[in-house]
Amino acid sequence: MDLTYSEEYETFRRDLRGFLEARLPKRLADKVRLGQRVTKEDHEEWHAILQERNWLAGHWPKEHGGAGWDAVERHIFEEETTRAHAPRIVPFGVMMLGPVLMKFGSDAQKAHWLPRILNGTDWWCQGYSEPGAGSDLAAIKTTAERDGDHYVVNGQKTWTTLAQYADHIFCLVRTSKEGKKQEGISFLLIDMNDPGIEVRPIHLIDGGAEVNEVWFKDVRVPVENLVGEENQGWTIAKYLLTHERTNIAGVGFANEALANLKRIAALEHQNGRPLIEDPLFAAEIARLEIQLMAMATTNLRVVSAAAGGNAPGVESSMLKVKGTVIRQEINDLTRRACGPYAMPFVSEALEAGSNVEPVGPDYAAPVSGRYFNNRKLSIYGGSNEVQKQIIAKMRLGA
Amino acid sequence: MDFNLSEERQMLQDGLRRMLVDKVDTKAIARGDTAWSAETWQALTEMGVIGALFTEEQGGFGGAGFDLMVVFEEMGRAGAPEPLLETLLAGRLIAELGSATQIEQLDEVIAGEVQMAFAHSEPGSRYDLERVATNAARDGDDWVLTGRKSVVTNGGEADQIVLSARVSGAVSDREGLALFLVPKGTEGLEIRDYPLTGGGRGAELAMEEMRLPGDALLGEAGDALPAIERTVARGSAAQCAEALGLMERIRDLTVTYLQQRTQFGQPLIKFQALAFRMADVLIEIEQARSAVINLCGHLDADPTTRELHVSAAKQLVGATAKLVVEESIQMHGGIGITQEYDLAHFARRLTMVEHRFGDALWHLGRFARLRAA
Ligand SMILES: Cc1cc2nc3c(=O)[nH]c(=O)nc-3n(C[C@H](O)[C@H](O)[C@H](O)COP(=O)(O)OP(=O)(O)OC[C@H]3O[C@@H](n4cnc5c(N)ncnc54)[C@H](O)[C@@H]3O)c2cc1C
């Protein structure tokens, strides 16, 4: 047992900190810190800066343009970038499609698509869920029928995050109705500029529009955009989901949210004293901090095992459940910390440069919206109920 | 012992439920297109609903805790954001403290012809009722007020604002508070109004040497806190009853959804993991109902008993609101956090109940202190 990082990792951390200090634009960090909306251009700007050091996809092998990080380095990157209030990396190309192509893609597909993810040519989104297929993902109905050199795609995807920015979508489509429903699914890459595609925004409870419906009407997709074999899509989908669940614990985000909560609780007053000195409120913060300290180590135990070559299985489900609940509880206590100033709903105040002043202290402006919006954490990426089912199946013989 | 509604209250409940059904455009509110509707307000006044909040002596026909409970529970069930609570708060203060001429205005208030607001909380006061920094100084016959009020529901739309200020003492003294009736457009009063997360509008008030005539004073200068506490107790009861209506509405929405939505070839309600959690939600809502009944039955008790019940109800309702909101969103899945689904407005409105008059944690501490005293 040794809880310290090796010198090699500490060197990496110092290097990274120096880089963030020098290269992370203050304008972007301020937006993230104040909970303001991050635009497409903001994301692209930050991605390009990271790629100067091959750090946009640091966990990719060097041959594909990554930095070849192991799980520990990846963890350090998450920790330091959240601490510095860097925008998060848009995951769809870097975290999801990239690893899928490396494992299942043809050489031609790798050569064509991987560099374009890194240099920002393509913005990907994830077309898995449908109105009738959420937790029961294998129930997807969107069809792809072979017609010569093309697949013709018809159907609808939903909850597609940032599809409004995307020019490409990777989709699960039904290529066969024979046998078990898992056996007739394929993984297809689709150009969003193709005729027959329509994107409609879905507004969420906090007023933002980060998700969309994507409709397909007779969309013609070249067969070379099939990844892996026809009807192999379910295997690919499951592989991708395990990648989606890395860093699922969100320790960095939770640390940052806890620090923000403490800052607010020190500035807010109750009975003429800082709220953080109220024994009841302080106890609630402490309860969350104790949980978080333990989870950080649970996470490191998993990370360290992964760096040693053990693919996390049921552990990532545990981290998903615990990590999301802790973050949601921090969001809940943060909205309470703001008291009556959690009530004003001034959506424009979350747009940087809107000239609309927030009502009350600036830290209060995003707290209610974030509380509601982050209910998503336990719904997407495999809902917490689905994770518990996995735990029950893999560990409890259920 | 009788937990049934009287015939009059039953009629009021039925009438109100029928009238409000489909009246509230929850989607428009969630989108921020509207804060509340003048048409619904009109319908409420035509039914004489405001009269149910005041005693016969005051010009109404109710005024008891259970009258408030019936009215506000239905407002909650409909998700109605019309500023009825503001009329209750400001109207009751005028009725209790007003001079003969001030009380004459009550007819208009009860008829719903004027909009009201109660401006008490301030940027640093949080939920502490005695903490008032806004200063009122005598100048000849006039009063001159300087200070700020925060998150005043309906403050921007009110024709009359009942506003608290300090005439003497330190910022957290129980003595030294006074109430004033401030008409819309008073010089020296600056208002910034904005939408609220749960529907309706709020306002920040800034008073810069705002001059009021001597007869704007409501009651005695320096002794307003007990009346403010009595009124906020009534307001808390109304708010808790509204929360109850919201919880039941959300419960119904969620149960219906779980029965209709199928995944893995079954309606979601057939998954016991979800059904058991929904059963917990049902149990907790009944607990909350009992706490609200306790409070409504003790609004006219001695202050210590009354305030114990205020904190008991606010603690339990606040905690249950969180449970109901979070469980119902989770069990809906993605649809539960979309603006275009009815749950959005109900969940937001129910959550905001904790941000006025104190949240569950604040009242937990307060209950313990009151018990120990
Ligand atoms: C903000 C957001 C962004 C998203 N982004 C994307 C995206 O980019 N691409 C994409 O493809 N998808 C995306 N999703 C979709 C997400 O993956 C689904 O919402 C999720 O899979 C749940 O599906 P559902 O919403 O249909 O809920 P349902 O599957 O209908 O589930 C409703 C509830 O029932 C529970 N439940 C279901 N089955 C069982 C069972 N057998 N036992 C116990 N409980 C059960 C669920 O856990 C949930 O609580 C996003 C969702 C959200 C909210």
CA A177–ligand 1 middle distance (angstroms): 23
CB atoms A278 and B365 under 8 Å? yes
Percentages of chain A per state (helix, strand, coil), in multiples of 5: 55, 15, 30
In this structure, are B347 and B243 located in the same domain?
yes
Question: What pLDDT is recorded for position A302?
Answer: 85
What's the mean pLDDT when you consider all of chain B?
A: 97
| B98 assigned to some structural domain | yes
> What is the per-residue pLDDT for A246?
63
Per-residue pLDDT, averaged over B106-128, amounts to 96
Which residue is it, tokens 């016991």? B272
Q: Does B330 touch chain A (CB under 8 A)?
A: yes
Domain that holds residue B72: 7-110
CB-CB: which of B172, B348, B362 is closest to A372?
B348
Domain end residue (candidates: B89, B110, B131): B110
Same domain for B133 and B33, yes or no, is: no
| ipTM for the whole complex | 0.97
B327 touching chain A per CB within 8 A = no
State whether A317 and A231 are in the same domain.
no
Return d(Cα B83, Cα A191) in angstroms, integer.
Answer: 50
C-alpha pair distances (Å), B178 with each of A166, A266, B43, B229: 59, 31, 34, 13
Q: Are residues A327 and A219 in the same domain?
A: no
Separation of CA B23 from chain center: 20
* B250 and B363 share one domain: yes
* Residue A313: pLDDT band with limits 50, 70, 90: confident
Domain count within chain A: 3
| B357, closest residue in chain A (CA to CA) | A340
Q: Considering only A176-180, A356-360, B301-305, B347-351, which range has the smallest mean pLDDT? A: A356-360
Residue B41 to residue B112: CA distance in whole angstroms:
8
Q: Report the C-alpha gap between A53 and A58 in whole angstroms.
A: 9
Domain membership flag for residue B163: yes
Residues B214 and B251 in one domain: no
CA–CA gap between residue A300 and residue A296 (Å, rounded)? 6
- Domain span including residue A190: 124-236
| Residues in chain A within 8 Å Cβ distance of B172 | 271-272
Confidence of residue A134 (pLDDT cuts 50, 70, 90): very high
Known catalytic residues of A?
244
pLDDT at res. A248: 77
Model pLDDT for residues A284-309, shown as the tens digit of each residue:
999 999 999 999 999 988 888 877 77
Q: In chain B, how many domains are there? A: 3
Which CATH number goes with the domain that contains B362?
A: 1.20.140.10
Is B261 among the domain residues? yes
* Of the candidate ranges A24-33, B18-27, B76-85, B147-156, the one whose mean pLDDT is the lowest: B18-27
Are the Cβ atoms of A340 and B150 closer than 8 angstroms?
A: yes
Residues of chain B with Cβ-Cβ distance to A379 below 8 Å are 329-330, 333-334, 336-337
Distance A364 CA to ligand 1 centre (A): 29
| C-alpha neighbours within 13 Å on the C-beta side of residue A396 | 8
Structural domain contains residue A2: no
Place of tokens 């990844």: A227
Q: Is A381 on the interface with B (CB under 8 A)?
A: no
Out of A189, A205, A236, a domain closes at A236
Q: Tell me the pLDDT tens digit for each residue of B244-297.
A: 999 999 999 999 999 999 999 999 999 999 999 999 999 999 999 999 999 999
Provide the pLDDT for residue A243.
67
Q: Is pLDDT at A244 greater than 70 in this prediction?
A: no
CATH number at residue B146: 2.40.110.10
Determine the atom of ligand 1 nearest the C-alpha atom of A157. Answer: 11
CB A29 within 8 A of CB A36: no
In a domain, A242, yes or no: no
pLDDT at residue A278, rounded to an integer: 96
Assign residue B102 the CATH number of its domain: 1.10.540.10
- Per-residue pLDDT band for B1 (boundaries 50, 70, 90) equals confident
A379 and B171 within 8 Å at the Cβ level: the answer is no
Domain boundary among B168, B188, B221: B221
Q: State the CB neighbour count (10 A cutoff) for residue B304.
A: 11
Q: Are residues A298 and A343 in the same domain?
A: yes
**Whether residue B233 is found in the same domain as residue B348:** yes
Contact A360 B330 (CB under 8 A): no
Q: Are residues B64 and B192 located together in one domain of the fold?
A: no
Is B34 found in the same domain as B12?
yes
- Candidates A379, A384, A388: which one to mutate for ligand 1, based on the most atoms within 8 Å of Cβ? A379
- Main-chain phi, psi angles of A171, to 5 degrees: -125, 150
Residue B353 belongs to some domain of the structure: yes
Question: What CA–CA distances, in Å, run from B215 to A280, B103, B218?
Answer: 43, 12, 8
Say yes or no: A228 and A360 in one domain.
no
Residue that finishes a domain, picked among A102, A117, A132:
A117
**Residue A280: inside a domain:** yes
- How far apart are the CA of A122 and the nearest CA of chain B, in angstroms? 27
Which of A280, A328, A339 minimises the CB distance to B355? A339
pLDDT of B357 above 80: yes
